[in-house]
Homo-oligomer: A and B are copies of this chain.
Amino acid sequence: MQIILLSGGSGKRLWPLSNDVRSKQFIKFFKTEDGGHESMVQRMYNGIKRVIPDADITVATGKSQASSLMNQLGESVEICVEPARRDTFPAIALAAAFLKYVKNIDEEEAVVVCPVDPYVEDDYFEAIRRIGEAVIENGANITLMGIKPTYPSEKYGYIVPREDGTVESFKEKPDLEGAKALLQKNALWNGGVFGFKLGYMIGKTHEFIDYKDFTDLKARYDSLTKISIDYAVVEKEQNIRVISFDGDWMDVGTWKTLTDVMEEHSVGNVHFDDTCENTHVINEIDVPILAMGLKNVVVAASADGIIVADKNQSSYMKPYVDKIEGPVMYAEKSWGSYRVLDIEDAGMTVKVTLMPGHSMNYHSHERRDEIWTVIEGEGVAIVDGKNREVGIGDTIFLPKGCKHTIKATTLLKVMEVQVGTDIDVKDKIKHEL
């Protein structure tokens, strides 16, 4: 069975932990059994691996997320990178082409596409397996996951099933009265999960898009129409069935819904007094947070900023966050992470963490010198072609124009002081090593 995990989106609804480069699925909110924390994408990926061990997972994502995915899921994760931002149909078409033309998956094999961002338990992964099995057995072209609704919500799509499991109709985001009427008809929420045989989707993609193979489709990806799979395929398909899922399923797109599913009231260095109620504090920075006498409040602190909000009010953050400008202060990359510690007119100080065996790109800058000081671990610095072994306390001066990289032998931490005017992430020229 093939799973295509859709890891899309980015945005600021969970600011300051989500931002332009860090989608909510990468934030480590959830407690693991070993006492650590995992992100939504780790939870989803590991859950599928655990419950459906024979499933092959491919993550379909944009290029801005590939690095974070490798950081969190490991280098060996199969990623199908969309060269541009389109909607779910182009993304699924590309992933399907990847499975057929690159991985040589048989067209009779079941594929289940699912979003990465609902909060679910293991029974959800079992439902995914049932959908994969149903794809082979039930003869339908598309098998959907219908979520048993818990209340008449206006924000989901509704699937009205017949008794035999086929689908009578769809209704996207009804009003409250409409939602109530749909619940009377045993309608199910559309969980965004689609099961089909690989050949079916390959056929659909060739119907819509004139392409030869994966490489060809990728090359013309830029020019594809933005359209969701619901509009492009599902709404037009007659031979469609739905499998009902009534376990825990929650859209955790806001601080309020997210904190509802957190097992702990805090993550990170956090202290509460005895009078806090229904208050959650997520602290990603080094200094302690003390919360006293708060009711229904969420506090979140990251290198980018701090929000302190009444949980209900936090849903209305977008216009306020849009006004807050500033560079991205923290990012996870395939090779490790970086964090901006200080910004001055003529300089910036960045802490770079490299995972063992990894290195950054070989690159140079036109408008800044850099001074590296190794503060943890060992590695090899390469400056204008010359190798030099470095360890704690070693400094490397990198004048404007010099080509440089550093490779981590062990976990390596480097304090990088950038000095120059017009310091900008775009001032970076990559070179072949």
Contact = CB atoms under 8 A, between A and B. Distances in A.
B287 A329 contact: yes
A375 interface: yes
A306 B326 contact: no
A433 interface: no
A417 B372 CA distance: 10
Contact of A346 (B303, B329, B351, B375): B375
B305 A293 contact: no
A202 interface: no
Contacts of A345: 376
Contacts of A341: 341-342, 349
> Chain A interface: which size bin?
35 or more
A301 interface: yes
Interface in A268-303: 271, 273, 275, 281, 286-294, 297, 299, 301, 303
A306 B293 contact: no
A187 interface: no
A342 B324 CA distance: 25
Contacts of A290: 15-16, 305-309, 317, 320-321, 324
A283 to B, nearest CB: 8
B292 A413 contact: no
A417 B419 contact: no
A361 to B, nearest CB: 23
A287 B308 contact: no
Interface stretch (A110-118, A236-244, A257-265, A392-400): A392-400
Given A273-B320, A292-B313, 16 more contacts: A273-B317, A287-B326, A289-B305, A290-B306, A290-B308, A290-B309, A291-B308, A291-B309, A293-B310, A293-B312, A308-B308, A342-B415, A346-B375, A346-B392, A371-B393, A417-B417
Interface of A: 15-16, 271, 273, 275, 281, 286-294, 297, 299, 301, 303-310, 312-314, 316-317, 320-321, 323-324, 326, 329, 341-347, 349, 351, 369, 371, 373, 375-376, 392-393, 395, 397, 413, 415, 417, 419-420
10 contacts: A275-B313, A286-B343, A288-B305, A289-B306, A290-B320, A292-B310, A292-B313, A299-B308, A341-B342, A347-B392
